[in-house]
Amino acid sequence: MGTESIEFWYEFASPYSWIAAERIERLAAEAGVDFRWRPFLIGPILRQRPHNPSPTQDASPAQKIYRRRDVERLCAREGLALHWPTAYPRNGLLAARVAQTLGDAARRAFSLAVFRANFVRDGEISNMAVIAGLLEEMGRDVAADLARAQAPENKAALAAAVDEAIGKGIFGAPRFVIGTELFWGNDRLEQAVDWARAPWL
């Protein structure tokens, strides 16, 4: 098959990134499509918005109410045990740096663990002890992983990933990328998978 792999760009603060991350495993297996997990940060991209240079979305009250209800409905439909984070959005910088250092399989497992800490167990994922606990549960060498995560070259690698995302035209998470084709949002995951198998345009 000529199926291309799909880049999955995700932000740990984003509930829609979490829902997509949970759904990807099943869809990848069913469709025979391969996903490359690409952690990044949406804050530096939001800060570039022409009319609102803020690193968070600054949603209106109506938007905040809608988003939470939408996520609750989606999770109920997907059988995901959402506990809406008491701090939202949480800072995913440390988690993204750790994810950036890990190889493919460990990155996927760690990233799912971070999402579940944030959205199921209401864990403060910006806290180093919380991240260390997740690595420990995975049987990782925690001190080594954290040291690598915070080394200057890894910080630069994550910053380069954000620049790469901007270069690709990414302005929100999650994003599915196949060559130059972008699909934005958990609700475009099926289309991305279909496109990877057979582009229709």
**C-beta of residue 71 within 8 angstroms of C-beta of residue 15:** yes
User: What is the closest distance, in whole angstroms, from the C-beta atom of residue 14 to its own copies in the complex?
Assistant: 17
What's the closest the beta carbon of residue 146 comes to its own copies, in angstroms? 34
Residues 102-161 that bind its own copies (CB under 8 A): none
Phi/psi region, residue 179 (left: phi>0; alpha: psi -120 to 50; beta: rest), is left
Tell me the closest approach of the beta carbon of residue 76 to its own copies, in angstroms.
Answer: 4
- Taking the complex as a whole, the smallest distance from the CB of residue 108 to its own copies amounts, in Å, to 26
* Beta-strand pair 35-39/6-10: parallel
Contact 174, 185 (CB under 8 A): yes
**Block residue for tokens 């934005």:** 184
* Nearer to its own copies (CB atom), residue 34 or residue 58: 58
- 76 belongs to the binding site for its own copies (CB under 8 A): yes
Alpha-carbon span 143 to 137, nearest angstrom: 13
Q: Which residues bind its own copies (CB under 8 A)?
A: 48-52, 54, 58, 60, 62-63, 65-66, 69-70, 72-73, 76-77, 166, 169-171, 181-185, 187-188, 191, 195, 200-201
